[in-house]
């Protein structure tokens, strides 16, 4: 078949040529403003975050304990561990294990297969800057259910041993996910240099923030907005955002609870306090997977090292810190403290969930019954901004809820070490930084309408306080 025949056949199979031509009417302007302090900052985040996951392992484990490293001996132990980790492919390396890496790849591929076969629905994403709306395969929840059934089958066949094995190979799984995420980021960076998408000859859409032409920076921040492979059927960013990492985090939590049970014969109330909310959060994320389609990660950011690492390595490895700590350091709380933490977590979670759902429903269809009573302002950009309901209380009340929810899980570990409060501290920095990125984006998008919105909704995080 000649190339012109192939092209017209493709156009006939997908979209009429006229529509395809319209979708090609967009620019990929050069990124002029850096975030994260540019290429040097990107290098700092890459090395810093990769080191932190190992630092927290060697500074907080069964043999070294989990105290703030204040003595020379503690730092020497951590230094020794890091050295053995950095020797990745040498025989002395303790963090890389080819069997574990193989299992990690299987875990990723398992969800890739489920992406195609698990039941679900296809929904449209937000309108892109060329007017196109991509289809998204929403079957994360059923993928999770199928995985749970397989997990129960493994438990029925082999008991708790495989789960304890996973907990015992935490370090090697972290290394596997880091290598895999970095490889994936490299792939999508190189892949972004093709000229058109495979699905309909539309030229590749780059993220507005990821086209600086600095290799390191674009590799880090994400060059292509929506990298898709296999004829456009497999959306790498959306897949990584919700499946292997989120469910890896839930699985690690379960494995650490089982490990605690294996060691002391029961699961402490502190462990339940830490893992139940986190597992609910994972299930909730998959149940409301369409809500992810309007988040900054999907709408604004390209897919590069930052998201690949965040989704695949950082989330599962760092977010299960509380359960990992409690697996070797069981803590039992009074029932009053347990209730306090549970209620704090519940309020945080509901604030997070209801506010995100409200915005998502409004963005999808402002006339639907659950949101049509809400007040909004119409902006010159054509987009509407809510000024009542959750979004009338504070401009990022969803962040506030999410942070308190995370704080409650840190409180579940008690007050013996500040190391387990890493999540609350890190998440505060992340959300403050994210807030400034989002304010910057909205100010740019809405211009003077954003000032009007800020006057109507003056508080950022907590009504009447800040």
Query: Where do contacts with ligand NDP occur on this chain (CB under 6 A)?
Result: 295-296, 352, 356, 359, 362-363, 383, 385-386, 391, 396, 398-399, 402, 434, 438, 441-442, 445
Q: How far is the CB of 357 from ligand NDP (least distance, A)?
A: 10
Residue 344: name the closest of 431, 435, 273 by CA: 273
Residue 218 or 449: the one with the smaller Cβ distance to ligand NDP is: 449
Task: Say which DSSP state 419 is in.
Answer: G
Residue 199 or 293: the one with the smaller Cβ distance to ligand NDP is: 293
C-beta of residue 210 within 8 angstroms of C-beta of residue 188: no
Q: How far is the CB of 406 from ligand NDP (least distance, A)?
A: 7
Residue 20 or 178: the one with the smaller Cβ distance to ligand NDP is: 178
Run of H or E including 3: helix 3-13
Q: How far is the CB of 389 from ligand NDP (least distance, A)?
A: 9
Residue 461: CA atoms inside 13 Å, Cβ hemisphere, count? Answer: 14
Run of H or E including 129: none
DSSP 252-312: HHHHHHHHHHHHHSS--HHHHHHHHHHHHHHHHHHHTGGGGGGSHHHHT---SHHHHHIII
Residue 201 or 301: the one with the smaller Cβ distance to ligand NDP is: 301
The CA distance from 97 to 109, in Å, is: 18
Residue 203 or 363: the one with the smaller Cβ distance to ligand NDP is: 363
Q: How far is the CB of 289 from ligand NDP (least distance, A)?
A: 13
Q: How far is the CB of 59 from ligand NDP (least distance, A)?
A: 21
- The single residue listed with the structure tokens 């709380």 is 333
Contacts of 437-441 with CB under 8 Å at 24 or more apart are 437/35, 437/296, 438/296, 438/396, 439/395, 441/296, 441/300
Residue 115 or 403: the one with the smaller Cβ distance to ligand NDP is: 403
Helix, strand, coil fractions of the chain, as percent rounded to 5? 65, 5, 30
Residue 143 or 398: the one with the smaller Cβ distance to ligand NDP is: 398
C-beta of residue 357 within 8 angstroms of C-beta of residue 285: no
Q: How far is the CB of 383 from ligand NDP (least distance, A)?
A: 5
Residue 186 or 452: the one with the smaller Cβ distance to ligand NDP is: 452
Residue 170 or 403: the one with the smaller Cβ distance to ligand NDP is: 403
**Start-end of H helices in 288-411:** 296-299, 305-309, 315-319, 321-328, 335-364, 390-393, 397-411
Q: CB within 8 A of 417, min separation 6: which ones?
A: 60, 66, 67, 68, 325
Q: How far is the CB of 261 from ligand NDP (least distance, A)?
A: 27
State both tokens at 43: 């290098």
Q: How far is the CB of 425 from ligand NDP (least distance, A)?
A: 13
Residue 14 or 383: the one with the smaller Cβ distance to ligand NDP is: 383
Q: How far is the CB of 174 from ligand NDP (least distance, A)?
A: 17
Q: CB within 8 A of 126, min separation 6: which ones?
A: 133, 293, 294, 298, 299, 363
Q: How far is the CB of 366 from ligand NDP (least distance, A)?
A: 9
Instruction: Note the Cα 369 to chain centre separation in Å.
Output: 30
């Amino acid at each position: 078949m000649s190339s012109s025949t192939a092209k017209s056949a493709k156009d006939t199979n997908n979209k009429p040529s006229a529509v395809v031509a319209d979708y090609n009417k967009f620019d990929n302007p050069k990124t002029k403003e850096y975030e994260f302090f540019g290429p040097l900052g990107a290098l700092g985040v890459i090395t810093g975050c990769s080191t932190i996951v190992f630092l927290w392992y060697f500074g907080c484990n069964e043999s070294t304990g989990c105290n703030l490293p204040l003595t020379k001996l503690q730092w020497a132990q951590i230094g020794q561990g890091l050295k053995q980790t950095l020797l990745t492919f040498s025989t002395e390396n303790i963090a890389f294990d080819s069997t574990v890496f193989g299992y990690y790849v299987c875990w990723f591929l398992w969800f890739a297969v489920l992406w195609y076969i698990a039941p679900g629905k296809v929904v449209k994403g937000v309108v892109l800057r060329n007017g196109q709306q991509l289809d998204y395969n929403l079957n994360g929840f059923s993928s999770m259910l199928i995985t749970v059934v397989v997990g129960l089958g493994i438990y029925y066949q082999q008991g708790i041993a495989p789960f304890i094995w996973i907990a015992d190979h935490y370090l090697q799984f972290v290394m596997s996910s880091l290598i895999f995420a970095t490889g994936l980021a490299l792939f999508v960076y190189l892949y972004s240099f093709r000229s058109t998408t495979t699905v309909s000859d539309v030229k590749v859409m780059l993220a507005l923030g990821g086209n600086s032409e600095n290799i390191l920076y674009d590799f880090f921040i994400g060059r292509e907005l929506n990298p898709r492979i296999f004829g456009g059927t497999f959306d790498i960013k959306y897949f990584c955002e919700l499946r292997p990492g989120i469910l890896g985090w839930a699985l690690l939590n379960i494995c650490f609870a089982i490990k605690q049970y294996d060691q002391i014969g029961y699961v402490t109330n502190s462990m339940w306090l830490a893992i139940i909310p986190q597992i609910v959060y994972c299930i909730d994320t998959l149940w409301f997977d369409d809500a992810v389609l309007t988040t900054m990660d999907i709408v604004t950011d390209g897919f590069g090292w930052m998201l690949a690492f965040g989704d695949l390595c950082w989330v599962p490895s760092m977010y299960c810190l509380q359960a990992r700590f409690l697996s070797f350091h069981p803590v039992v709380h009074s029932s009053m403290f347990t209730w306090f933490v549970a209620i704090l977590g519940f309020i945080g979670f509901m604030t997070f969930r209801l506010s995100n759902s409200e915005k998502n429903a409004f963005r999808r269809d402002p006339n639907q019954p659950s949101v049509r009573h809400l007040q909004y302002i119409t902006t010159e950009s054509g987009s509407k901004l809510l000024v009542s309901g959750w979004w009338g209380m504070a401009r990022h009340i969803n962040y506030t809820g999410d942070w308190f929810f995370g704080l409650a899980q840190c409180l579940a570990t008690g007050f013996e070490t500040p190391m387990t409060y890493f999540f609350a501290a890190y998440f505060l920095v992340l959300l403050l930084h994210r807030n400034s990125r989002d304010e910057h984006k909205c100010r740019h998008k809405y211009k003077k309408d954003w000032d009007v919105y800020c006057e109507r909704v003056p508080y950022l995080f907590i009504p009447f306080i800040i």
